[in-house]
Amino acid sequence: MEYNKRTNKNFPALVYKILNDILALLLIALFLFLLAESILPGIISARFSFLKLIMIILAVLGLIIFLGKQNNFQFSGLDKKNLLAGRQIRLIVITAIIFFLALAANSLFKFSPWEILIITPLSCLVLIYFYKTF
């Protein structure tokens, strides 16, 4: 009998943690679907609606917020010890910039060379601005 009381007491925390994991997996799936869609347009959107995935993400997020408020779960914030080192963050940002430039180049095939020469540096300047601002 004691086991059931303890299990029932920890059940909301277990569901909360599982929903957080599901949210992380759904966000990774959304990123990968958008990546595949940007590389080969129509490969995902012809078979699957992004709206359904976004609605599922919002529903899971709503459940996480609801359970958090019902059970008084607090977000402790980011701990500086657990943050990535500055070198790793720079590597991630540089990789993201290279990835962005590759996707931008892929989407600019239909433009004339002069338009590409204007759009690409402006996009790089916007990325640099965001990198320095945030």
Q: Alpha helix locations (H) across the chain? A: 2-39, 50-70, 86-107, 113-133
Instruction: Round the CA-based radius of gyration of the chain to a whole number and report it.
Output: 21
The predicted-structure confidence for 59-83, as pLDDT tens digits, reads as follows 999 998 899 888 888 766 555 555 5
Global confidence as pTM: 0.59
What pLDDT does 2 receive? Answer: 56
What pLDDT does 4 receive? Answer: 61
State the amino acid at position 43 in one-letter form: I
Tokens standing for residue 52: 């359904």
Q: Which residue has the higher pLDDT, 54 or 9?
A: 54
Burial 101-122 (b: 16+ CB within 10 A, else e): eeebeeeeeeeeeeeeeeeeee
State the amino acid at position 58 in one-letter form: L
The predicted-structure confidence for 82-125, as pLDDT tens digits, reads as follows 555 556 667 777 887 787 777 777 777 788 888 888 887 887 78
Q: Could you state, in order of their start, the residue ranges of all structural domains in the chain?
A: 1-75, 78-134
Burial 20-51 (b: 16+ CB within 10 A, else e): eeebeebeeeeeebeeebbeeeeebeeeeeee
Residue 6 contacts residue 30 (beta carbons within 8 Å): no
Averaged pLDDT of the chain: 79
Q: Answer whether residue 12 shows pLDDT above 90.
A: no
Q: What is the greatest pairwise CA distance in the chain?
A: 76
What pLDDT does 1 receive? Answer: 45
